[in-house]
Amino acid sequence: MRANPHIAAKQSERPLVLAPVFRDRLIESLDQVGVPVRGRMSYVASLTCRAVQTVSRWLDPDRPGLPDIESCARLCEGLGRSTDWMLGLSEAPSGCDQASATLSAAEVGWVSEAFGALRSVCHACETLRMAGDEMAPQIQDGDLIFVDLAADQLVGNGIYALELEGRFMVRRVESRLGTGLVFKCEKPEYADCVVKDAAAAKRMGLRVIGKVRGAVGVARFWRQ
C-alpha cells in the first residue's frame, strides 16, 4: 500500500511547526525564572544533562530543533511547565503560577526570608542546576547552584562551574605547590585530575563558567 503523499507531507511539516513554538516558550519560561540571555544555554544544559552544542539547536533563532523526549521531560519539570504548553498544544502553562497561588502565608514568609538571605550573598550570581553526585554531600544532584560569572578565571581555590567538550561539571579547585591545579570531586570514589596551571587547563579545552558562591537544596530527614 502506497502512503498518501499529502498525509506524509503534513506529518513532516508538523515538527517544523512545533519547533519554533517550543523555542519561543522555552525562552519565555527562562525569562520568567530570571535566566539572562547569556546564561540560557548553560542553564538548559545543566537542567537536561546535555551538551551546550545540543542545547543551542533548541534555541536557534532561524532553524530551531526539538529536544529528545527525556530532555523535554527534564525541561518541563525543571521549569514548572506542562509538555502540552511547551509544544503549543495548550494555552495554559500550569506549574509555576498555580504553585505560587497555593502558597500559605507561612510559606510565603519563610520563602521570602530565604530569598532575602540568598540575595544578600548571591545577588550578582546566576543559577544553574547541579547534575550528578560527584560533589555530594556538599552539593547534591538537582541542587540549585549560584555561579558568579564574573569570576571566569581560575584565580584562587574554591568551587567552580566548568565546561569541557560540551559537558557541564562542578569541581573543587586547589592550587598545590609542586603539584599544580587539582580538580577534585567531593566523593572519594572519583579520582582527582591534575594539570600544570590555568594555561594548561585552557589548552585542554576547559572553560570556566564561573565560581560557585552558594547552593540550595532540600535535605530530607526521616526515621526508619
What is the rounded average pLDDT of the residues 193-206?
Answer: 92
**pTM for this structure?**
0.54
Are the CB atoms for 129 and 46 separated by under 8 Å? yes
- Per the CB < 8 A criterion, the answer to whether 125 and 146 are in contact is yes
Tell me the CATH number of domain 5-100, given options 1.20.1280, 1.10.260, 1.10.287, 1.10.3470: 1.10.260
Domain regions of the chain by residue span: 5-100, 126-216
Degrees, nearest 5: CA angle 104-109-110: 105
pLDDT, tens digit, 9 for 90 and up, residues 7-45: 344 444 444 467 888 899 999 988 887 787 878 888 888
Is the distance from CB of 65 to CB of 19 less than 8 angstroms? Answer: yes
Instruction: Phi first, then psi: give them for residue 2, nearest 5 degrees.
Output: -85, 140
- Cβ of 208: how many Cβ atoms within 10 Å? 19
Q: How far is CA 46 from CA 4, 25, 108, 132, 159, in A?
A: 42, 18, 28, 10, 16
Grid coordinates belonging to 129: 542546576
Segment 196-203 mean pLDDT: 91
Where are any strands of DSSP class E within 20-166?
126-129, 144-148, 158-164
Measured between alpha carbons, how far is 116 from 186 in angstroms, rounded to an integer?
A: 28
Contact (CB, 8 A) for 73 and 86: no
pLDDT at 9: 42
The pLDDT tens digits of the residues spanning 168-178 come to: 999 999 999 99
Q: At a CB cut-off of 8 Å and minimum separation 6, what does 61 contact?
A: 23
Q: How is domain 126-216 classified at the CATH fold level?
A: Umud Fragment, subunit A (2.10.109)
Task: Give the pLDDT band of residue 79 (cuts 50, 70, 90).
Answer: confident
CB contact set of 27 (below 8 Å; sequence gap of 6+): 40, 59
Higher per-residue pLDDT: 31 or 92: 31
3-state secondary structure (DSSP) of residue 134: coil
